[in-house]
Structure 1
Amino acid sequence: MDIEILHVDQESAAVQFRCRAGEAWGVWQGDATATPGRHHVEIDVPNPACSWNINPPKIPLIAGDLKTIESGTTIAGTLESLGEDSIACIRVDQDILMIELSAGKEDPHVGTGIEIHTTVIHLYPLNL
């Protein structure tokens, strides 16, 4: 996913970023320190999503409260596939995010809108 880093918190490695789907905070996972500007990254949700809604508007969204790093993030898109291992491939704008869904809730169906809530996302820089 193409992002633009707007602000870097040097103490926590958290970065405020913007992408086509919105703005949020994420934790930079690169070997080098994050710098403001454009980057191509893989977005990872390190913990299984415990909370999701089925059939929200299919408007792609990555959003968090920009006032605080600990705000959590909402990710919304269209479910492209769901594996037997509960790995969901969610289309967010032009990109696909792979997110593990925790057990215990009704499985969403391919083609429906899905919205998940997570406490943290990790950003892994890609050198393309």
Structure 2
Amino acid sequence: MLITITSVDSMTAKAVIEFTCRYGSGRGVWSEAAPQLGREYHVEIDIDQPLHIGVNTKATDDEVPRIEDSGSQVTLVARIESLFDDGAASLRLGDSLILVALEGAFPTIGSWVKVSLPHIKVYEMRL
């Protein structure tokens, strides 16, 4: 996913960034040294906590990939691309895939979900 950095808070061990992309705007913890404000980066999004329907994830009729930052939560709207036997899944957010761990029952492949989390991790992809 291609993002543009709009804010960098490097007051903590890991920089907290705000960004825009073709799917909206979000906030995340940057994986390395603080990125440059205003620069574009190709990134991978990581969700480091299991997704659980009714807790941090719900099925949605909204079929438009999206990232939103409400200040206290980052919300992703994505389609379930794959479900694996080991309790993992891949979510498609536009042109990006996000590998996630699941807990409990989950909608079927092709269903859309709305995931709300306090934070996501953002890793630069060195292409």
Counterpart position of 2:27: 25
Q: Which residue of 2 aligns with 1:40?
A: 42
- Matches of 2:92 and 2:48 in 1, distance apart? 18
**Match status 1:57 vs 2:59:** no
C-alpha distance in structure 1 between counterparts of 2:87 and 2:24, whole Å: 26
Percent of residue pairs identical: 31
Q: How does 1:59-78 map to 2 (within 5 A)?
A: 59-65=64-70, 68=71, 71-78=72-79
Structure 1, residues 104-127: CA drift from partner, whole Å, max 9, x if none? 3x3110011111111110011111
Q: Report the equivalent of 1:119.
A: 118
1:50-106 alpha-carbon deviations (Å, 9 max, x no partner): 3211233111011112xx4xx1211111111111122221111111111212x23x3
Structure-2 residue corresponding to 1:80: 81
| Contact residue 56 and residue 115 of structure 1 kept, 8 A | no
Do the aligned residues in 2 keep the contact of 1:79 with 1:91 (CA within 8 Å)? yes
Alignment match, 2:9? 9
Q: Which residue of 2 aligns with 1:89?
A: 90
Deviation above 6 Å: which 4+ runs of structure 1?
A: none
Cα separation, 2, equivalents of 1:87 and 1:115: 17
Measure the CA separation in 1 of the matches of 2:34 and 2:18: 14
Conserved? CA contact 2:8–2:34, under 8 Å: no
**Cα deviation digits, residues 31-63 of structure 1 (max 9, x gap):** x32112100111101111232112331110111
- In structure 2, stretches of 5+ residues that fail to align are none
CA RMSD of aligned residues (A): 1.3
Which SS does the other structure have where 2:85 is aligned? coil
| Length-normalised TM-score, structure 1 | 0.87
Unpaired segments ≥5 residues, structure 1? none
Instruction: State the TM-score, normalized to the length of structure 2.
Output: 0.88
Return the alpha-carbon distance in structure 1 between the equivalents of residues 27 and 49 of structure 2. Answer: 16
